[in-house]
C-alpha cells in the first residue's frame, strides 16, 4: 500500500511480491467475511515472511477487533452502568487519528472512502461521550472540553473564523476567547456564538456539516454548566443507549471492509456456496 492509502494487490514476479499478493488477498478475504477470530494470526504471517501488511488493512483489523472486544465488555458493564476503562478511550482516539490520516490519502474513487468517512464521524461522536463519561466522577471537564475543540473544532465550524470567537476554559466554563466571561451561575445558559451566517450563505454545500458541528458543540457546552445536567444525561440517555451505539460503530466498521476489493478467494467461495446441480 502506497502513499495513496489504497490496498495494493499488484503481484510481481519476485517471490516476495507473490507472497505479499497472496497474504494481502487472504487478509482482505478474512476482513470481508468477518472472520475476526483469525485476523491476528493472518497479520502474524506477514512478520514470519518479513513483510508488512497494508496500513489501511491493519487499521481495518484494529477497528473491527476494537469493536468486537468493546461490545463483549459492554455486556457486563452496562448491567451496572459502569464507566468504561479509559483504555478504550485511548484506543478509539488512536483509531480516529490514524483513520483521519488514511482518509486524507485516499482517492475519491476509492469505494470504501465514504464508509470510512461515516465511521469517523460516528467515532468522533462516541469518543466525546467517553470523555464525558470519564470526566463525570470528578466533575473536571477540562480534558473533555479540550477534546471537543479537537474533534469539533472552530475551523470545521467556520473556516473564515472571523465572527466566531475561539473558546477557552474559564473558571470551569467555556468562554469565547477575548469576549465576556460566562456567568458561573449553572442555571443560566451559555451565551456563545458558534457560526457565521454569511459563510453558510456563501458556501451552501458546507451548511450541513457546519450545522452538525454547531449542534453537537452546543449540546455538549450546555451540559458543562451543570454537574446535574451531566449526570442526568449520562444516566438517562447515554448509558441506556451505549450498547446499541457501539453495535452501530461495529457495523460501520464492517461496512468499510465489505467494500474492500474482491479477491480470488471471494470467487472460489461464491462457487462453493452456489448450487452446482
Instruction: Average the pLDDT over 51-55 and give the result.
Output: 93
Q: Per-residue pLDDT tens for 216-270?
A: 888 888 888 888 999 999 999 999 998 899 999 999 999 999 998 877 665 555 5
More confident residue, 249 or 210: 249
- The confidence score (pLDDT) of residue 73 equals 77
Q: Given phi > 0 = left and psi -120 to 50 = alpha, else beta, which region is 106? A: beta
Query: For residue 117, what is its C-alpha cell?
Result: 468517512
Q: What does the radius of gyration of the chain's CA atoms come to, in whole angstroms?
A: 22
Question: What residues are paired with 171 via a beta bridge?
Answer: none
- The confidence score (pLDDT) of residue 166 equals 43
More confident residue, 66 or 277: 66
- Among 27-36, 207-216, 223-232, the range scoring the smallest mean pLDDT is 207-216
d(CA 129, CA 220): 9
CA 271 to chain centre: 36
Question: What residues are paired with 168 via a beta bridge?
Answer: 175
- CA torsion sign for 208, 246, 39, 30 is negative
- The confidence score (pLDDT) of residue 262 equals 79
Q: Per-residue pLDDT tens for 102-137?
A: 999 999 989 999 999 999 999 999 999 999 999 999
Alpha helices in 106-226 (DSSP H): 113-135, 142-151, 154-157, 197-202, 207-224
Instruction: Average the pLDDT over 187-207 and give the result.
Output: 42
- The confidence score (pLDDT) of residue 6 equals 63
d(CA 61, CA 35): 10
> Going by C-beta distance under 8 Å and a sequence separation of 6 or more, which residues neighbour residue 175?
167, 168, 169, 181, 182, 192
The yes-or-no verdict on residue 24 having pLDDT over 50 is yes
> Domain-by-domain residue ranges, the chain?
54-99+114-267
Mean pLDDT of the chain, nearest integer: 76
- CA torsion sign for 256, 262, 268, 272 is positive
Environment class of 26 (CB within 10 Å of its CB; exposed 0-12, middle 13-18, buried 19+): middle
Give whole-number Cα distances, 169 to 67, 129, 151, 226, in Å.
32, 19, 16, 15
Using a cut of 0.85, tell me whether the model's pTM lies above it. no
The yes-or-no verdict on residue 11 having pLDDT over 70 is no
Q: Per-residue pLDDT tens for 155-176?
A: 655 444 433 334 444 444 444 4
Amino acid at each position: 500500500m502506497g502513499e495513496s492509502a489504497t490496498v495494493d494487490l499488484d503481484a510481481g514476479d519476485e517471490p516476495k511480491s507473490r507472497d505479499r499478493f497472496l497474504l494481502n488477498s487472504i487478509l482482505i478475504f478474512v476482513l470481508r467475511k468477518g472472520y475476526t477470530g483469525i485476523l491476528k494470526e493472518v497479520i502474524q504471517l506477514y512478520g514470519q515472511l518479513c513483510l508488512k501488511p497494508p496500513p489501511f488493512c491493519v487499521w481495518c483489523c484494529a477497528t473491527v477487533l476494537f469493536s468486537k472486544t468493546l461490545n463483549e465488555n459492554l455486556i457486563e458493564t452496562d448491567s451496572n452502568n459502569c464507566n468504561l476503562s479509559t483504555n478504550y478511550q485511548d484506543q478509539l482516539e488512536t483509531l480516529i487519528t490514524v483513520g483521519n490520516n488514511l482518509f486524507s490519502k485516499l482517492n475519491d474513487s476509492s469505494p470504501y472512502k465514504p464508509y470510512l468517512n461515516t465511521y469517523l464521524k460516528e467515532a468522533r461522536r462516541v469518543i466525546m461521550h467517553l470523555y464525558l463519561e470519564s470526566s463525570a466522577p470528578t466533575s473536571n471537564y477540562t480534558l473533555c472540553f479540550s477534546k471537543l475543540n479537537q474533534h469539533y473544532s472552530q475551523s470545521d465550524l467556520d473556516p473564515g473564523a472571523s465572527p466566531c470567537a475561539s473558546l477557552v476554559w474559564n473558571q470551569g466554563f467555556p468562554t469565547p476567547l477575548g469576549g465576556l466571561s460566562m456567568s458561573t451561575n449553572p442555571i443560566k445558559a451559555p451565551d456563545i456564538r458558534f457560526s457565521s451566517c454569511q459563510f453558510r450563505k456563501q458556501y451552501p454545500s458546507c451548511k450541513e456539516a457546519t450545522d452538525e458541528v454547531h449542534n453537537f458543540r452546543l449540546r455538549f457546552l450546555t451540559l458543562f454548566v451543570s454537574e446535574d445536567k451531566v449526570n442526568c444525561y449520562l444516566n438517562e440517555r447515554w448509558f441506556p443507549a451505549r450498547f446499541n451505539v457501539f453495535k452501530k460503530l461495529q457495523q460501520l466498521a464492517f461496512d468499510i471492509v465489505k467494500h474492500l476489493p474482491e479477491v480470488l478467494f471471494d470467487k472460489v467461495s461464491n462457487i462453493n456456496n452456489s448450487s452446482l446441480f
